[in-house]
Amino acid sequence: MAQTKSILRALAGEVQEIPPIWMMRQAGRYLPEYRATREKAGDFLSLCYNSDLATEVTLQPIRRYGFDAAILFADILLLPQALGAELWFVTGEGPRLSPLTTQNDFDRLAGPQDIHDTLAPVYGTVRNLASALPAQTTLIGFAGAPWTVATYMIAGRGTPDQGPAHALKAENPALFDALIERISAATVEYLSAQIEAGAECVKLFDSWAGSLKGEDFDRYAIAPTRRIVSELKARHPDIPVIAFPREAGDRYIGFHAATGADCVAIDNSVTPEWAAENVQVSGCVQGNLAPGHLVTGGDDLVRETRRIVAAFRKGAHIFNLGHGITPDADPDNVTRMIEAVRGG
């Protein structure tokens, strides 16, 4: 069925009259059925590691909306947990990890090949989805990009400016580079296992790429992505890769060629017209509706959705948001967005 799936056709560079559509965080708290399943699981990590429940929440937005792709329900911080970091979630505040700031902390990490026992339930979810999804729906696997994962591992939490990671990079570059290397190698193993379990394409989320400037962007956003894409394609030549260097700005230009990614996802800090002229000329793009439109709705939602479709109509395009859908989004606004994309 691969050649008939609209997402995979877009990733291969095909221009389609109606772009395929899915949303980042499309399985999430804005949906009442998700909230009910999460309550059944008890907590977020239990949901991620319960293959049956994670399968259920991944399928919920497909049943409700008929998106063209389902993305595995998991979290980018499961990988550092598999490497040996302590991980927990604080209600209302988000994830916490045991911070990695010294060589001793690094020496306690597991090797890249030692992650699979911890992550086995995630692979189970992928296998479940590969058999449960509608025939036309593409299954997307994912991981966090090394820089973004490292920022959480070093600080032990999300930070406004990724300051702790920038500080370690400056003060102990050997340790920082070793951490990026370990995460990169483990990410190849993790995504490869997802592909072997049934993922048809994979996505790298570099949520904090925008805080890297100049040579640091080349070294810690582009180079690790290029390595991961290259190693994955050596193992799985037909599997496309989507890269999302969020808030990269002008550095979106040339990102396809610099990394080997089949598609570059763009955030909503750049206009679709600019991205069509400067990024889409190099390959498929994904994006880039501002998530706030799914909260406010109305004519602005429809107008902006149609504007984005029109801006990207001459090239390969996957319609998506510029970042994840927010918990306060109105599920009915998602329906309005889909209708606007598909001509309703």
The residue to which tokens 């499309």 are assigned: 26
246 is an active site residue: no
The predicted pLDDT at position 108 comes to 97
pLDDT tens-digit profile, the chain (344 residues): 446 899 999 999 999 999 999 999 999 999 999 999 999 999 999 999 999 999 999 999 999 999 999 999 999 999 999 999 999 998 888 899 999 999 999 999 999 999 999 999 999 999 999 999 999 999 999 999 999 999 999 999 999 999 999 999 999 999 999 999 999 999 999 999 999 999 999 999 999 999 999 999 999 999 999 999 999 999 999 999 999 999 999 999 999 999 999 999 999 999 999 999 999 999 999 999 999 999 999 999 999 999 999 999 999 999 999 999 999 999 999 999 999 999 96
The residue to which tokens 């708290």 are assigned: 29
Nearest to 131 by CA among 68, 193, 55: 55
The one catalytic residue in 29, 35, 64, 157 is 29
Enter the tokens of residue 249. Answer: 């700005």
The one catalytic residue in 38, 96, 127, 157 is 38
The predicted pLDDT at position 221 comes to 98
| Helix (H), strand (E), coil (C) string for 17-39 | CCCCECCCCCCCCCCHHHHHHHH
Which 8-state DSSP code applies to residue 74?
Answer: -
336 is an active site residue: no
The predicted pLDDT at position 4 comes to 85
238 is an active site residue: no
105 is an active site residue: no
The one catalytic residue in 34, 123, 152, 190 is 152
38 is an active site residue: yes
* Amino acid at residue number 161: D
Distance of CA 130 to the CA centre of its chain: 18
The predicted pLDDT at position 344 comes to 65
Query: Residue 277 phi/psi, 5° resolution?
Result: -75, -35
List of domains in the chain? 2-239+314-320 (3.20.20.210)
β-pairing verdict for 87-90 and 94-97: antiparallel
